[in-house]
Structure 1
Amino acid sequence: MRHDVILVVLDGLNYSVAHDCMGHLQALCNAGRGQLYRLECELPSLSRPLYECILTGVRPIDSGILHNDVSRLSNQRSLFHYARDAGLTTAAAAYHWVSELYNRTPFDPARDRHTDDQSLAIQHGHFYWTDHYPDSHLFTDAESLRRRHAPNCLLVHPMNIDDAGHKHGLGTAQYRNSARHADIILSEYLHQWLAAGYQVMVTADHGMNDDRSHGGILPEEREVPLFVFGEAFSLDDQARPRQVELCGTLCEVLGAPHDKPLCRELLKA
């Protein structure tokens, strides 16, 4: 059975902080309505390379998106491409690097901030370019896209957790409270999405360290959460998903033909 999907990428969210601070998501998991997995992100633990990894299933050393300053269109096929080619509708409320990877580059705010173009991989979009753009606004952007366009595949990508980490570091109240704030916002929308039939993944590109950065191999930089919610998921606590398998797994949920690796253990038989 085909399902619509929402992928939430909470930029810069470390696994332990997600585990300890996201009380609403954990309540759903404790009630048997979701499952939390520990993921190890690919290397380098940097944003643009890992957006590409999550959305195409290709490691940075193979995609050529090796650091944040590689500003070009992706040469890989993404979740958005597979969904669009299957006749589905795509949308994203996300940082402008996502637009540069899959729609047009360089990003032109006047042209690209609000996107409605059926020919593009991301057909409907609200894109932002400042790291302190409020998560509350970003989630509202995403919900507006959902209500207006009923996308089959929607990316929601806020930046405030990562911004707090770069300003204050991993072991700070500011960083932890940014995660708590995202959990509160998610509590406002997640039940609506599930009631509308969406299958929801909540994950992160990379974590954060006490140097107020990331990019290396420290566990706090590489370990990120993966929450799954919805009837398409097995909720098997023995599953061991990898970051490169998220694209293919979501294509399976969408019923979109693809050639990506996937984690079958995440899905109901």
Structure 2
Amino acid sequence: MQSNKLVMITLDGCRYDTAVEELGFLGHLVEKGQAARYQVLSELPSNSRPMYQVLLTGTPPYKSGIVSNLSVRLSGQESLFHRVREAGGVTAAAAYYWVSELYQHAPFSFQKDRIQHNSELPIQHGIFYFEDQYPDSHVFAEANYLLENYQPDFLYIHSMNIDDTGHKFTADSKEYRAAVDKADLILAECLPAWIRAGYQVIVTSDHGMDEFGHHGGTRTGVRQVPLFIISDKVVPQIVEEQIPELMVAPLACHLMNIESTRDMERLEFPGLRTSSESI
């Protein structure tokens, strides 16, 4: 029987080519026919807060009004969290505090908003960090706590160390590659148990990083990001066709068997299995 539960992971600042070369565990799953790999073209501007909004609502910045990292306010669009909660599901997130500011409270209170449990909010169970160097290992440990204790139908995980390292050392550095490799080690420890627990998995990024330690513009290294999918609803393969980042949110709705929002574009995604093809 197919699962509708989903873990969605954003490795902030992880560019496509480095992901292909350094995410060895995910590459192993692709090689053995357990996962699919796609290349995604991020929206513009290729900065974090606007791209979080793109990934979680499927709306471009000019429509959402979340146009820069300085857009500190609640989103005006329905997110994946809203849709899952409205469908009667449970939502959770272990993420950077900007995610809380988009869908929970704005501005974020470091004293009050780090841990949130409220069934009336879009993210019903949330653990939010507020320092870019906060260890990815801690973020995934907190995500595992949420998964084991609340069995969410949608769990969003957002880690920051790859982006933080890229800004400090650039995408051409051994430090940046090491940060991507460390994320892979964490994924290798977490994903098998989550898959056994019945979760589908999406691993992607908001934007990439360039050789100057920057992102935000139009250069290839900052716009091309990875998308790995582990799901019975998607054919395990490498797809060379570039996917618009606006397709990630409607894809997540499809995997969770919930209706897309009216702001999302129609899902056009290669490799989706039909009901008769499902395994």
TM-score if structure 2 supplies the norm length?
0.94
Q: CA deviation at 1:38?
A: 0.8
Q: CA deviation at 1:109?
A: 2.1
2:52 is aligned to: 51
Secondary structure of the structure 2 residue equivalent to 1:265:
coil
Q: Distance in 1 between matches of 2:156 and 2:119?
A: 16
How does 1:196-207 map onto structure 2 within 5 Å? 196-207=197-208
Q: Distance in 2 between matches of 1:218 and 1:233?
A: 30
1:33 is aligned to: 34
Q: CA deviation at 1:251?
A: 1.0
1:108 is aligned to: 109
Contact 2:3-2:199 within 8 A present in 1 as well: no
Secondary structure of the structure 1 residue equivalent to 2:243:
coil
Residue 71 (structure 2) pairs with residue 66 (structure 1)? no
Unaligned regions of 5+ residues in structure 1, if any? none
1:185 is aligned to: 186
Contact 1:241-1:263 within 8 A present in 2 as well: no
Q: Distance in 1 between matches of 2:273 and 2:101?
A: 34
Q: Distance in 2 between matches of 1:81 and 1:158?
A: 22
Secondary structure of the structure 2 residue equivalent to 1:112:
coil
Q: CA deviation at 1:61?
A: 1.8
Q: Distance in 1 between matches of 2:268 and 2:28?
A: 24
One-letter code aligned to 1:38: Q
Residue 164 (structure 2) pairs with residue 163 (structure 1)? yes
Secondary structure of the structure 2 residue equivalent to 1:211:
coil
User: What is the aligned length?
Assistant: 269
Q: CA deviation at 1:249?
A: 1.1
1:241 is aligned to: 243
1:85 is aligned to: 86
Q: Distance in 2 between matches of 1:197 and 1:66?
A: 36
Contact 2:250-2:260 within 8 A present in 1 as well: yes
Q: Distance in 1 between matches of 2:78 and 2:189?
A: 32
Q: CA deviation at 1:211?
A: 1.4
Secondary structure of the structure 2 residue equivalent to 1:225:
strand
1:251 is aligned to: 253
Q: Distance in 2 between matches of 1:127 and 1:59?
A: 24
Deviates more, 1:24-33 or 1:225-234: 225-234
Q: Distance in 1 between matches of 2:268 and 2:180?
A: 26
Q: CA deviation at 1:6?
A: 0.4
Unaligned regions of 5+ residues in structure 2, if any? 275-279
One-letter code aligned to 1:114: I
Residue 270 (structure 2) pairs with residue 265 (structure 1)? yes
Aligned-residue Cα RMSD (Å) equals: 1.2
1:194 is aligned to: 195
Determine what percentage of the aligned residue pairs are the same residue: 41
Secondary structure of the structure 2 residue equivalent to 1:61:
helix
TM-score if structure 1 supplies the norm length?
0.97
Q: CA deviation at 1:245?
A: 1.1
Q: CA deviation at 1:186?
A: 0.2
One-letter code aligned to 2:273: K
Q: CA deviation at 1:256?
A: 1.4
Q: CA deviation at 1:36?
A: 1.2
Q: Distance in 2 between matches of 1:216 and 1:21?
A: 24
Q: CA deviation at 1:236?
A: 4.9
Q: Distance in 2 between matches of 1:91 and 1:179?
A: 24
